[in-house]
């Protein structure tokens, strides 16, 4: 595709983000998105076959952003505990940062996640793979006991997701700004450290 096509496609994505922020996912129509751009609805089909495909593209773009950030953290930090702590901390703050950038409410953010379930699963798999690689490296270096790295990585990620979900839903929080990130971060760090300490070989424990 040409640069002109790519630029126009990105404009469609940006218009969709603004429309979601204003109307919510379910109420946003292709007409709303086209109106944001000052074009006819039929023109959008040249770039995306449906509203779902458009939002799927948005989520996939975000997946690249977060996985790149997490890989950078993993490469930068020197200890396994620090890698895990910083990765989970980054995930905690990620939702708020992106919602602020796109002016999307917590309710809308969660709503999109429920609709485009497959894309979010792919993001989760990418994150689990990063955690798994850190654990495997720990085993290889003789720091951690041999264990099922994939299973532990999946469970750690599920714990993170569960804690976030509880914070957002259980307390009926409507805005990311109302989330107590310090409390959430402390809980996640505590659980992460407990798991890593439990996996360490006796000779590497301090």
Summarised one tens digit per residue, pLDDT across range 134-180 is: 999 999 999 999 999 999 999 998 888 787 767 665 555 555 566 67
Which pLDDT does position 146 carry in this prediction?
94
Report the alpha-carbon distance of residue 141 to residue 32 in Å, rounded. 54
As a residue count, the chain comes to 206
Q: At what angle do helices 117-140 and 149-165 cross, to 10 degrees?
A: 130
Complete domains list, the chain, with CATH: 1-49 (1.10.10.60), 51-204 (1.10.357.10)
- Nearest alpha-carbon partner for 45 in 59, 58, 30: 30
What is the predicted pLDDT for the residue at 170?
55
The alpha carbon torsion through 150, 157, 131, 189 (nearest 10 deg) reads: -130
> 142-175 burial, b if ≥16 CB within 10 A, otherwise e?
ebbeeeebeebbbebbebbeebbeebbeeeeeee
State residue 61's pLDDT score: 80
Q: Report residue 143 as tokens.
A: 């720091």
Given a cut of 50, the residues of the chain with pLDDT beneath it are 101-102
The two tokens of residue 28 are: 């946003």
Rounded distance between C-alpha atoms, residue 25 and residue 51, angstroms: 9
How confident is the model at residue 188, as a pLDDT?
84
């Amino acid at each position: 595709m040409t640069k002109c096509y790519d630029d126009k496609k990105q404009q469609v994505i940006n218009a969709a983000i603004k429309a979601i922020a204003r109307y919510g996912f379910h109420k946003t129509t292709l007409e709303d998105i086209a109106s944001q751009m000052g074009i006819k609805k039929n023109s959008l089909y040249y770039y995306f076959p449906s509203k779902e495909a458009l939002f799927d593209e948005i989520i996939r773009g975000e997946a690249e952003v977060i996985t790149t950030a997490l890989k950078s953290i993993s490469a930068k930090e020197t200890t396994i505990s620090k890698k895990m702590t910083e990765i989970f901390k980054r995930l905690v703050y990620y939702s708020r940062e992106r919602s602020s950038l796109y002016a999307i409410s917590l309710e809308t953010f969660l709503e999109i996640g429920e609709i485009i379930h497959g894309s979010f699963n792919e993001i989760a798999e990418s994150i689990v793979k990063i955690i798994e690689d850190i654990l495997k490296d720990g085993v290889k270096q003789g720091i951690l006991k041999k264990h099922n790295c994939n299973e532990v990585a999946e469970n750690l990620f599920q714990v993170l997701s569960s804690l976030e979900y509880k914070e957002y839903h259980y307390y009926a929080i409507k805005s990311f700004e109302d989330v107590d990130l310090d409390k959430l971060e402390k809980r996640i760090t505590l659980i992460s450290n407990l798991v890593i300490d439990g996996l360490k070989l006796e000779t590497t424990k301090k």
